[in-house]
Structure 1
Amino acid sequence: MRVLLTTYPEKTFFYHLVPLAWALRTAGHEVRVACQPKFAPVVTQAGLTAVPVGSDRNFWRITETRAGGTEAMREGIMPPYDAFDDVAKQNLGYLQPGLTEAVRGWHRVSNFPIVADLVEFARAWKPDLVVWEPLSQAGAIAARACGAAHARMLWSIDLFGGVRDHYLRLRGAEPDPFEAWFSGYGRKYGFEFGEDMVTGDFTLDHLPGSLQIEADLPYLRFQYVPYGGPASVPDWLQRPAERPRIALTMGLSATEIFGGYHLSLPDVLDALSDVDVEVVATAQGLGTVPANVRLVSYVPLHALAPTCAAAVHHGGLGTLATFARAGVPQLCVPHHLDEPIFAAGLARAGAGIDLRSPTADTIRESVRRLLDDPSFTRGAASLQSEMDTLPSPNDIVPDLEDLTAKFRRGS
């Protein structure tokens, strides 16, 4: 079958789609990835075929012009999706204007530049299945326009589906902003609005159940497989560590989107300087570092993780899941978006520590706890086992074939 993937041009989102695309390709299916033109090189670097569509648009730059901008995003999940786990906000007075603004703003912003070209391509290429990540609902429009089945691929907890659940329960006679938005395209391309356009015919998720928060929707869950872009393994990583190795990474978003880290890395490294460990820190521009620190600008985390005794990081899904897959106890110092939720889930699983308002000293103390308390090693091993028991991306390809046949609407 033919499978079309659509993604907003952000590495953090796209990298979650790549292992599934590889699995479909190795099963013999045709796969193409539609994206804004500037993002095509990232797609082709992953060994996939890119289809540049529409025009380039910088979502983060546009977000900066809206209330609070990216600084508001640093403080947590943007409204109204912060209501998914906040009972006080699960009311129509909060959700109705919030969803109206979300659709008018960042949902449309991330989709409008590509819709026309994407529909044109989909009608010409005739995919059987369209897979879209939650900010690329243009994929749902294109699927409906050409009759394909379509699925959401999550890169976080399902806050989009969860808030949609709350809204539908409370909506009453209020006009649905999603229905109004999608129906406009329906009149143009010849389809009627359906709830599938908001949350997919089904949802793909590669989080273990202990870290996920689900909506009342059909899910197809599979293993998280790390992919972080083109990489090579350095010589030093091919040799055994002489002391317990601690990974320290704060993720790409901190510098590429938010302009810096939310804690002082030099202070943290100084605090760890008298601990009998080797610290591998991925950062730039820190100047002189303690003798027990190996400072690198980048290292493939899936190669680093199995060599580590513990990891310190921001709680981003890709980072957390990569170390979890390797059975490594983790210290999360979360700050923005979904990081606090993942950090709390990791702590509930007994696989790590959720540290809010961190200081250099509390990070040092927490690292010692991870190394000295065997309960964290047991918790990390249990989480690793949970991930290992899920089917691989290759294993779910027959399920995708069956679901595609079930939901395909014809051309």
Structure 2
Amino acid sequence: MAHIVAVTLGTRGDVVPFVALGQALREAGHRATIATHGSLRALVEPAGLGFAALPVEFGADPRTLTSARFARALAGRWLDVGRAVATASADADLLLLGAMGWLGYHVAQARGVPSMGAFLQPLEPTRAFPPALLTTRSLGGWGNLTAARALRLLGQAPFARQTAALRRELGLPRLGPAATFRRMDAERWPVLHGFSPAVVPAPADWPAYRPMTGYWWPPVGGELSPRLQRFLDDGEPPVFVGFGSLAAPGLDRVVDEALARLGRRAVIQGGAAGLATDRRDVLVVGDEPHTALFPRVRAVVHHAGAGTTAAALRAGVPAVCVPFAADQPFWAGRVAALGAGPPPLPGRGLTADRLAGAIESAGGYRAGAAAIARRLATEDGTGQALAEITRRLPVP
């Protein structure tokens, strides 16, 4: 039995796919531990997985999860995070590293055990498209590749000093960011991409050891709350509106006005945006399982986070994407390109008229949404990822 330690930071959507992998590893006879924020413990332990808390939280303001705010929040505790990863992986046989868990690469080197990436966004440089965290406008093949490489290096700058301190504590020689990436490439360091090639066509210049496995779906399950179940049973399928951990000034007002103009039944998830209304045909809910809810709605309005985008595509319902930052514009663009929803509505400058119009037009994208759902139903991303992971475990 091997012990696999997965390291991931971010939001709920950055943890749930790793829980799916952890459960698959456990069913295969291995032991899995997920190292992440202490506030997300409840996602991990009920699944029967080991949990290790990392000493960093991003607070109630989701704006800390974007660009420079994210880097500053995380960089301030980076050395402590590295120490916690080292402690959690004391007896690990392999480290599985999310996009913001790459500090574990240095820990694995010190421990003398293998590591591999497990990314939920297309972060590896490619000529096929521009960096997902930078722009959705192609810069040309050479420009896309160069920009992604530059962004990758620039992203290490806030962490370089504390990474160097961690390497000293681990007894490792100095290795700067550029040298680290050169070493990874020379080692053919594997990266699993937890999304579907049906959604993001696999770039021809990505090597075979960095495959797209398909999505890592959580096990089907989770019951809707009784009040939501009653609401769904009592009328026509509603529109769902939710923005997860994202908040923006005035977003609640725009949503309320748009739904009032439509006059349709709706379910809105309060979330960090504080969505609320006193209209009788709208139900305000907290966390509800997307796997059970989305197939029962007429359209999903969301911020195009990777996890919510995947859940809506899997459900086969049209999506109205309102992206704000980070990888959200990328996923919103993919939804539109697949014909699974109307063109994205950028969060900045969003109006009630535009939102209402997009929701009204969503029905015209039902065939495209159903088509991609049928393709996703044929994939076993978790199974493929499990095979890739176990293939790289040390031989007993």
TM range, smaller chain: 0.7 to 0.9
Cα RMSD (Å): 3.9
| Counterparts of residues 249-268 of structure 1 (less than 5 Å) | 249-254=242-247, 261=251, 264-268=254-258
TM-score for both structures, normalised by structure 2: 0.75
Q: What amino acid maps onto 1:134 in structure 2?
A: A
Where 2:13 maps in the other structure, the secondary structure is helix
Match of 1:113 among 80, 98, 104: 80
Give the Cα–Cα distance (whole angstroms) in 1 for the partners of residues 220 and 106 of structure 2.
Answer: 29
1:189 pairs with 170, 182, 189, which one? 170
Using structure 1 for the length normalisation, give the TM-score. Answer: 0.73
Q: Name the structure 1 match of 2:283.
A: 294
Report the equivalent of 1:139. Answer: 104
Question: Against the structure 1 CA distance between its residues 231 and 111, is the aligned structure 2 distance closer, same or farther, given a 3 Å change threshold?
Answer: farther
Contact 1:154 1:203 in 2 (8 A): yes
Structure 1 residue aligned with 2:350: 358
> CA shift at 1:198, angstroms?
6.9
Q: Supply the AA of the counterpart residue of 2:285.
A: V
**Contact 1:110 1:136 (8 Å CA) reproduced:** no
1:282 alignment partner, one of 269, 272, 278: 269
Q: Which amino acid aligns with 2:341?
A: G
Residue by residue, what CA displacement relative to the aligned partner does 1:276-334 show, whole Å, maximum 9, x if unpaired?
A: x4312222562411x43222233221111111222112212211110100111111122
For residue 216 of structure 1, report the CA deviation from its aligned partner: 4.0
Aligned counterpart, 2:121: 156
Q: SS of 2:259's equivalent? A: helix
Query: Any residues of structure 2 matched to 1:12-411 within 5 Å, and which?
Result: 12-35=13-36, 37=38, 39-52=40-53, 56-59=55-58, 70=63, 73=66, 78=67, 105=72, 108-109=75-76, 111-122=78-89, 124-125=90-91, 127-158=92-123, 166=146, 182=163, 184-191=165-172, 193=175, 194-195=180-181, 201-212=189-200, 216=206, 218-227=209-218, 232-235=223-226, 236-237=228-229, 240=233, 242-254=235-247, 261=251, 264-273=254-263, 277-283=264-270, 286-289=276-279, 291-353=280-342, 354-356=344-346, 357-371=349-363, 373=364, 376-405=365-394
**Contact 2:238 2:297 (C-alpha < 8 Å) held by counterparts:** yes
Cα gap change, 1:369 to 1:121, in 2 (>3 Å)? closer
Give the whole-Å Cα distance in 2 for the aligned partners of 1:152 and 1:313.
27
Q: Deviations over 1:222-250 (max 9, x none)?
A: 33245599953233537656323321112
Q: Secondary structure at the match of 1:389?
A: coil
Cα gap change, 1:58 to 1:241, in 2 (>3 Å):
same
Deviations 1:130-165 (A, max 9, x none): 112111223212211112211222233327887696
Tell me if the contact between 1:310 and 1:330 (Cα under 8 Å) persists in the aligned partners.
yes
Structure 1 residues not aligned, in runs of 5+? 80-100
Distance 1:116 1:349 in 2: 43
Q: Pick 1 or 2: higher relative contact order, CA cutoff 8 A, min separation 6.
A: 1
Distance in 2 (CA, whole Å) between partners of 1:265 and 1:381 is: 26
